[in-house]
Chains A and B, each alone.
Chain A
Amino acid sequence: MRPYFAGGRPISLLKPTGGVRPTVIGEALSRLVGKLLMSQKGKCTIGKHFAPARFRDPTLARPQPAEAAQLGVGIGGGLEEFAHAVTVALQTHPFSPSPAVPLANHEGWVCISIDFKNFFNSILRPAIFRALLAVPGFVDLYHFLVAIYSKGDPAQLCADLGGGQEWDDVLSREGVQQGCSFGSFLAALALQPILEAVARTMPECLIAAYCDDVRICAPIPVALAAYRLLRRLARKDLGCEEVPSKGSAMWEGEMSHVALCSLSMFPSSMPGRTTRILHDKHLGVFVGDSRPESVAAVKAALHAKFEDKAALITRLRILSDPQIKLNLLRSCASTRPGFWLRTMSPSLTTDSSAWFDARLRECMDEIAAKPLTDHARLLATLPKHLSGLGLTSAMATRFPAHFASWLGAWSHITRMFPSAISLTANDLSTSTLPFALGLQASHHAVSSAAIALADNMNRHPLPFHAPTNPEVTDLSDFGTRQPHAQKSIASAYQSARWLNGFHFACSPARACMLSQSDQGAMAGFSAVPCGKAALTPSSFVTALQLRLRLPPHYP
């Protein structure tokens, strides 16, 4: 029974870049027990092990040297923190703007991206269990994990040889299963001692990981030593091979000839080592430098990504039911650019957002069977509790999304990487670094919206869900933790959009906006179209046109 409970169904998922991602769907009961044990352990306990500095009191003296942070396990929003931390570390440590004008006493930092070959499936199980037994807080998981990942009594994976008719048993003897509740946790647990060993050798650096994606930001000699040590330890202790061609080297500013010579010590197959790359992708976030050609390359890469994401909008045309179309457009298609809007500067995302919104509007025109007016477009892109249809407009959300992402991440990244991020919250409003300029623009847009809302809230009746005291955190207060930043900022910004629309609307439209913002008023439009909630296409389109006040029903 043990190999059966520990086993599962292996399936191969195709990667977007080609190749296969082997995944195992474990037995549901084992997954539930794993999930339960993880919940009992608590996210906080896990997070404190992988990124202790993130949870430490900032008033305490920071340890020397730098600490490694694993942000892929037990940390909510770790991905955005990872991307923001690498961006700030690179931009605050540029090489001289040009070789002719060197910065006095300043050595630039380089960001080395490290990737391993088939990390999850090749990591040695003895290394995993050594790491597990070395952490007192996780030792009590031993019994369950040894059942799942025993080498002596290996888990049985029932591989489908075709059409569910023929099956063969594959024994799982090495690595961790992608799809297991503990897969990422165990892989990160085994990698953590190596990251910590590397961090101990670096006086000033940023070393961060998101599961097996590792970034080292440091001066070139320090980064080179750290890279070599990490590579050696990963091979020796974990049995994992680092692949230079999957990594990269990036930096800000212009390197001197001496620095370029130092960079040539990295493997020749590493992108960025011989020829400078225009942009890189850090966990899906496109990162470039200040050169105009790099900015253009980042914008082009982002646009290509948005085009890829908008393919779903195009595919919605094959559906005949407008109610299903609207539900899919709202829940699956319109929210897709959100991650990039949060992590990338509005100056980079504006063009792609406008393009994506145009596709969204075309699709809405088709669903409503009429071109949308500007007022209808506003109603369509407001949240449901503010009389809207709940579609996400990329243009309307890019500022609050980006601002809230930084607001949630800043206090954590400055705690985790104090030597890499020397900028304080007080410097953010005056800094001319590209990330700070994006943040200032976002802050300006969000605070203007909050001020407009606060100034006009007594002139007009407000919907029930609008905030009564809209306040936006000042850039100088970024040092304090803001756990619900995204929600509060979005609420204030969207309420300001509602108020603006209300201000310019005619009296009947105002009445409509107010009544539609009552609790549950728009529920019919978000109901799953089955049973009584399903309308005939013509009834739904008519209801939609009435709600959006489209002509000829309304002038």
Chain B
Amino acid sequence: MPATPNPAPQLLALGPALSLKTFRHPARGSAHGCSGWRMEHYALVAEHVVMTDSVETSTLFKVASAIAADRAPPPPLLCAPTLQVAAPSACSSQRGV
């Protein structure tokens, strides 16, 4: 891969009005990705959750902007300690059942 340019290229900021229009009017019958969500689901979110006059403050717009700017959180470290989940039997014995 070519080295990351320095200074970093300017970011193409998402336009609120166009974002809302794109989210609200997606292609019909879109296929779903791994999450099972289709474009129509996001259309519902944009229709019922996002206010027309305050698109920039909506969570959907913020998440979309984060993805466009490559600001999605990094993947979890596989070697990091994870919470130990107690076995159901252990819980039962603690409660004295």
* CA distance in complex: A151, B32 (Å): 24
Say yes or no: A140-B9 contact (C-beta < 8 A), given A28-B38, A32-B64, A40-B15: yes
Q: Which of the listed residues B12, B14, B32, B67 has the most CB atoms from chain A within 10 Å of its own CB?
A: B67
| Tally of contact residues, B, Cβ under 8 A | 37
Give the contacting residue for B69; candidates A39, A129, A144; CB below 8 A: A144
A140–B12 touching, CB < 8 Å: yes
* CA distance in complex: A139, B6 (Å): 12
Give the contacting residue for A29; candidates B8, B18, B63; CB below 8 A: B63
A2–B5 touching, CB < 8 Å: no
Residues of B within 8 A of A (CB): 1-2, 4-5, 8-12, 14-15, 18-19, 22-23, 26, 30-35, 37-39, 41-42, 63-64, 67-70, 72-75
Please give, as numbers and ranges, the residues of chain A lying within 8 Å of B19 by CB-CB distance. Answer: 36
Please give, as numbers and ranges, the residues of chain A lying within 8 Å of B70 by CB-CB distance. Answer: 2, 143-144, 146-147
B67–A147 touching, CB < 8 Å: yes
Say yes or no: A140-B10 contact (C-beta < 8 A), given A8-B34, A28-B35, A35-B22: yes
Say yes or no: A5-B9 contact (C-beta < 8 A), given A32-B23, A39-B22, A125-B1: no
A139–B9 touching, CB < 8 Å: yes
Please give, as numbers and ranges, the residues of chain A lying within 8 Å of B10 by CB-CB distance. Answer: 139-140
* CA distance in complex: A376, B67 (Å): 56
Say yes or no: A39-B74 contact (C-beta < 8 A), given A27-B34, A29-B37, A126-B2: no
* CA distance in complex: A158, B35 (Å): 11
B75–A32 touching, CB < 8 Å: no
- What are 28 A-B pairs at a CB distance below 8 A? A1-B74, A1-B75, A2-B70, A2-B72, A2-B74, A26-B33, A27-B37, A28-B30, A28-B35, A28-B41, A30-B67, A33-B64, A35-B22, A36-B19, A37-B68, A39-B18, A41-B12, A125-B1, A129-B1, A133-B9, A142-B5, A143-B8, A143-B12, A143-B68, A144-B12, A146-B70, A147-B70, A151-B1
B67–A5 touching, CB < 8 Å: yes
Give the contacting residue for B73; candidates A2, A35, A36, A41; CB below 8 A: A2
Interface size class of A (residues with CB under 8 A): 35 or more
A311 contacts chain B at the CB level, 8 A cutoff:
no
